[in-house]
Structure 1
Amino acid sequence: MGPTRDNPSPADPGSSLPAPAAEIAKGYAFGGPALDLGALIWDGTAHPGAPVRIPLAVLNRHGLVAGATGTGKTKTLQLIAEQLSAQGVPVFLADVKGDVSGISAPGVPGEGVRTRAAEVGQEWAPAAFPAEFYALGGIGTGIPLRATVTDFGPVLLAKVLGLNRTQEQSLGLVFHYADGKGLELVDLKDLRAVVAFLVSDEGRPELKGIGGLSAQTAGVILRSLTAFEQEGAGPFFGEPEFDTRELLRTAPDGRGTVSVLELSAVQDKPRLFSTFLMWLLADLFHGLPEVGDLERPGLVFFFDEAHLLFGDASKAFLEAVTQTVRLIRSKGVGVFFVTQSPRDVPPDVLGQLGNRVQHALRAFTPDDAKALKATVKTFPVSPYDLEEVLTGLGTGEAVVTVLGERGAPTPVAATRLRAPASLMGPVDGEALAAAVRASGLHERYAQAVDRESAYEKLSSRTGAAAAPAPAAPGRETAPERPTAGREKPGPSLVEQVVGSGLFRSLARSVGTQIGREITRSLFGTTRRRRR
């Protein structure tokens, strides 16, 4: 890989590199703190004197790590996460294949590591990094990570249930009713109970003024919930709910904590875990303050298997993702989407990803060739023949372009990446389980809690009670856990449940008295005041 026939490489008297390569190398000579990705490749050779780097300050401008299976994407994530941690930046990693836990253990020296280090000018030494391990609902080895149904919200839940637009709107209406009546949706049985109540003779009048809930739509929602629960999704919803601010912690020595979410145990539920990752991101967005551009990000979030999030997504859902990605930058959070091809990411989202690490692509079929050409067009003009380079990259090599310190894209650089300092593989299962039990978060989140919520409240109703009693003047019928953003009782709905325009027309038609209202975000999520 090297210059094209139209771009010869005359020697530059002031450099050991050919002129085009020397010009590329200058684009990565940053003055401030930066992460070292590897060494520039030119004409098939890695040049350790020409490091390829990414400024720490631009990591909240988001990024993309892409490439075919087996090209080294996971090791790239591990390499970046290690250096972020060393710089005091917390990291979130989704571990889909179950081999990222090694970041908590020192790497093992070997001939391959020594060779790679020599090729890229790396002073390799084994190192372990502070890590916390999580598992969705406690399925797998990790601190259980749960969300309540009400905080997960109707938009994300509709996505994971595969509901259409009309059914999604109806689900939002159910959440709106539950919010207003103090029926907390903690787990899936709470949501089933409210849906069933609203189509019963007793509950049907409750929604008469705002369109009601048809028995047919309710049936679809209930069947979807039942199938979802039979797939084993029940443990993901409940309490104690995970506080996403735990992801922002640093270790006592000042290094950033690497939060590793094990997903290998739920690989057969891809829509669930991709949507759950979006909930984590949306909850962070909803709860963090505006901080603008920082010298270093407050968190870098790696969103693996990103294509699962965008597949079959509605226009409104994609708009919410796009807006969240665009705005969360100002809250100090950087997001890297990880997938096989840039085409997996919608153009409006892809356009916001200023940092690119593109591993090898394959061109075995006409569709592959088309995808390759489309990928090449997304890179800045380069002296490389990018079609040739992208199909010829070896494992642990990538084409890189990032945002420089002034915010302008750097030249495209074929790069041989450094070797991670931590263990490149999973840690021993017993050691991992011991680390989870020893965590200070284990006692807080390990044991599930099933307190009184919508299911219990509706089960205890008598036939004469048409709805939960409104709060008496000067007294609030609050649940045990305080909820942010409640409205005072009034003669009409002041603010719609969902922040998007999805239910605004519905809000205008409300004439009934609502006891309280929960303010919801773009995705219909709601953030609680947590201890």
Structure 2
Amino acid sequence: MADDPRMVAGKILVGKSDKYEYLTLSVGNRHGLITGATGTGKTVTLQTLAEGFANNGVPVFAADIKGDLSGIAMPGDSKPPFVQRAKELGFEYQPDQFSVTFWDLLGEAGHPIRATVSEMGPLLTSRLLQCTDAQEGIINIVFRVADENGWLLLDLKDLRALLQYVSDNAAALKVKYGNIVPASVGAIQRQLLVLENQGADKFFGEPALDLTDFIQTDKDRRGVINVLSAQKLMESPRLYATYLLWMLSELFEKLPEVGDLPKPKLVFFFDEAHLLFDDAPKALLDAIERVVRLIRSKGVGIYFVTQNPLDIPDNVLGQLGNRVQHALRAFTPRDQRAVRAAAETFRQTPGFDTVKAIMELKVGEALVSMLDEKGMPAMVSRTFIAPPSARVGTITPDELKATMGKDPIKGKYDTPVDRESASEILAKRAGGQMEDAGAPPVEADAGSGGILSEIGTAIGGALGGGPVKINPKTGRPMRVPKTMTQTIVQNAIQSASRAIGSQIGRAILRNVLGGILGGGGRRFADLPSSPSQSEAQVAANESPLDKKG
């Protein structure tokens, strides 16, 4: 149809007020917000916009919270309200269907999605584990130790193994990284157990998701719609929110700068968006704000879907240019304040009572304010939302199976891969140490025993950590029990060393060793009185007996 309002180049039909309301593709990367109470039509609006982007060749990612977005893969069923609404808007309703790729973090209702723990990073991992500041510090130590040793940190097994490693080696690591409290490590390990019970162990691992698989078009050059099945995932809202934040950060890091394009490269719809911000620490909120502000230059548009604009922090809300507000109900004083706050986020139309309109909107109606070609928000208008052309509702298990069976990425992520990583490396090291500890010591040579050997070994223990012999099985040094003579001499030396300081203690050990073996070591009176005293001064104080040697 030549006069079909859906056929305007570079625009997506949103609905009709006293005029047609469009979302302009060139500002589609300026982000957006869809809000309204439960049951007022947010999901239908989301589907209408997703279809509009796909029809214009823009790939879409959408989280399906209730399961009623999955029907977008099937033709619409010409529901009478949709047919009537299309007629009122000036076009004929035509059923359509779209190319859809289904994803599921749990791998049940879509292709599995995985990420490695390293890709998640310490900030998001800490948030996922609900870490305190002290516990977050330990998570940062774990990531640093893994990096410095070249140990791959891929899945939850690796994270648990490294937590155990830093706990076991807390004394040695303390010098470089600070205090590692066993109680904090234990708390993190308990949170890991909770995550595993929620299915997070299926998310962490390989093959990791290639985000370019989201940016695809079909044979008709329409954008592929990626639907994340999140019904079960919503039982673990922190995992859901952390996954979405990880995707945003990955896109931000990996996509090149493209500036303003005629249309976005990719559009995200995040349902239940308030979960991204609930209980988030300031560092994480700052990171989200920075990503939202800058990711548009990568050609990515983000559309948050939630009940009230107040669910979104002000610094993020200010970045959302395209707005659709469905009805809000004001039954309490708190609800009334929320309605007034929502009304204030719009550019006001003279003579139009925005607060009253928000409470009077019917299902399928919304207040709409979109950006124009110059990025200026239009004045708010009461709008009838255009109907989607695909099915509104769920997909059957057989239809899901058939859709996934013809997906181009079929089989790419279905089989998990478990490479050698931190857990395997640390398990091997622990096995080698146990083998060393269980091997019998080599018997000492009878001709080299006696008091000199006993005392010499004790002195070596004082300096280097105790007597050692060679393990015949591994060829490595191993510790053996000390004799009574070794213990007495070592204790005496250590006591003297503690009494007079480390430098003088080392000098006494040289005297003792020299005396036993016939050398001419210096007496205590001849030692430097301070570290700054020179060797020449010491030599000048030597007695004739010393010089005779």
Please report the TM-score for the alignment, with normalisation by the length of structure 2.
Answer: 0.76
Displacement of 1:266: 1.9
**Alignment partner of 1:86 is 2:55:** yes
Aligned to 1:345: 312
SS of 1:443's equivalent?
coil
Aligned to 2:384: 416
SS of 1:444's equivalent?
coil
Q: Does the 8 Å contact 1:120/1:417 carry over to 2?
A: no
Q: Does the 8 Å contact 2:266/2:301 carry over to 1?
A: yes
Aligned to 1:461: 429
Aligned to 1:286: 253
Q: 1:342 to 1:127 in 2, by over 3 A?
A: same
Displacement of 1:190: 0.6
Displacement of 1:212: 4.1
Aligned to 1:236: 203
Map 1:8-87 → 2, pairs under 5 A: 33-40=10-17, 47=18, 50-87=19-56
Q: Which has the higher helix share?
A: 2
Aligned to 2:344: 377
Query: Which of 404, 418, 428 is matched with 1:450 structurally?
Result: 418
Aligned to 1:323: 290
Query: Which of 149, 161, 165 is matched with 1:197 structurally?
Result: 165
Aligned to 1:5: none
Measure the CA separation in 1 of the matches of 2:411 and 2:392. 30
Query: Which of 356, 369, 387 is matched with 2:355 structurally?
Result: 387
Largest Rg, 1 or 2: 2
Query: Which of 409, 412, 419 is matched with 1:441 structurally?
Result: 409
**Alignment partner of 1:313 is 2:290:** no
Measure the CA separation in 2 of the matches of 1:98 and 1:237. 24
Deviation string, structure 1 residues 57-114 (Cα, Å, up to 9, x no partner): 1110001001000011111111001110010000000001111111111101132122
Q: Does the 8 Å contact 1:85/1:256 carry over to 2?
A: yes
**Alignment partner of 1:98 is 2:67:** yes
Cα RMSD for the two superposed structures: 1.9
SS of 1:461's equivalent?
helix
Measure the CA separation in 2 of the matches of 1:445 and 1:29. 37
**Alignment partner of 1:431 is 2:408:** no
Q: Does the 8 Å contact 1:390/1:399 carry over to 2?
A: yes
Amino acid aligned to 1:34 = K
Deviation string, structure 1 residues 400-426 (Cα, Å, up to 9, x no partner): 111110111111111100110000111
Deviation string, structure 1 residues 316-353 (Cα, Å, up to 9, x no partner): 11000000000100000000011000000000000000
Aligned to 1:499: none
Deviation string, structure 1 residues 261-318 (Cα, Å, up to 9, x no partner): 0001222111111110111111111100000000000001111111111000111110
Q: Does the 8 Å contact 2:100/2:224 carry over to 1?
A: yes
SS of 2:226's equivalent?
strand
Measure the CA separation in 2 of the matches of 1:442 and 1:76. 30
Name structure 1 gaps, 5 residues minimum. Answer: 1-27, 41-46, 467-531
**Alignment partner of 1:367 is 2:344:** no
SS of 1:194's equivalent?
helix
SS of 2:199's equivalent?
helix
Measure the CA separation in 1 of the matches of 2:229 and 2:280. 24
Displacement of 1:377: 1.3
Structure with higher RCO (Cα < 8 A, 6+ apart): 1
Displacement of 1:183: 1.2
Displacement of 1:440: 2.3
Query: Which of 115, 123, 128 is matched with 2:84 structurally?
Result: 115
Q: Does the 8 Å contact 1:103/1:128 carry over to 2?
A: yes
Q: Does the 8 Å contact 1:35/1:56 carry over to 2?
A: yes
Displacement of 1:173: 1.9
Aligned length: 429
Which has the higher mean CA deviation after the structures are superposed, 118-127 or 364-373?
A: 118-127
Q: Does the 8 Å contact 1:356/1:401 carry over to 2?
A: yes
Measure the CA separation in 2 of the matches of 1:165 and 1:349. 24
Q: Does the 8 Å contact 1:245/1:284 carry over to 2?
A: no
SS of 2:268's equivalent?
strand
Measure the CA separation in 2 of the matches of 1:364 and 1:323. 36
**Alignment partner of 1:169 is 2:137:** yes
Q: Does the 8 Å contact 1:98/1:426 carry over to 2?
A: yes
Q: Does the 8 Å contact 1:363/1:391 carry over to 2?
A: yes
Amino acid aligned to 2:274 = H
Q: Does the 8 Å contact 1:299/1:334 carry over to 2?
A: yes
Amino acid aligned to 1:52 = E
Name structure 2 gaps, 5 residues minimum. Answer: 435-549
Measure the CA separation in 1 of the matches of 2:6 and 2:369. 13
Displacement of 1:122: 3.0
Displacement of 1:446: 0.5
Amino acid aligned to 2:307 = Q
Give the % identical residues: 45
Q: Does the 8 Å contact 1:122/1:418 carry over to 2?
A: no
Amino acid aligned to 1:113 = F
Map 1:105-254 → 2, pairs under 5 A: 105-138=74-107, 140-201=108-169, 204-254=171-221
Which has the higher mean CA deviation after the structures are superposed, 456-465 or 282-291?
A: 456-465
Displacement of 1:392: 0.7
Measure the CA separation in 2 of the matches of 1:162 and 1:212. 20
Measure the CA separation in 2 of the matches of 1:223 and 1:111. 53
Displacement of 1:205: 1.4
Query: Which of 227, 246, 252 is matched with 1:260 structurally?
Result: 227
Measure the CA separation in 2 of the matches of 1:259 and 1:29. 23
SS of 1:457's equivalent?
helix
Measure the CA separation in 1 of the matches of 2:8 and 2:412. 43
Measure the CA separation in 2 of the matches of 1:121 and 1:163. 55
4+ long deviations beyond 3 Å: 28-32, 462-466
SS of 1:52's equivalent?
strand
Q: 1:193 to 1:280 in 2, by over 3 A?
A: same
Displacement of 1:29: 13
**Alignment partner of 1:399 is 2:367:** yes
Deviation string, structure 1 residues 193-244 (Cα, Å, up to 9, x no partner): 001011104x641453121422122112111111211222211111111111
Q: Does the 8 Å contact 2:161/2:426 carry over to 1?
A: yes
Map 1:490-505 → 2, pairs under 5 A: none
Displacement of 1:398: 0.7
Q: Does the 8 Å contact 2:106/2:199 carry over to 1?
A: no
Measure the CA separation in 1 of the matches of 2:288 and 2:91. 38
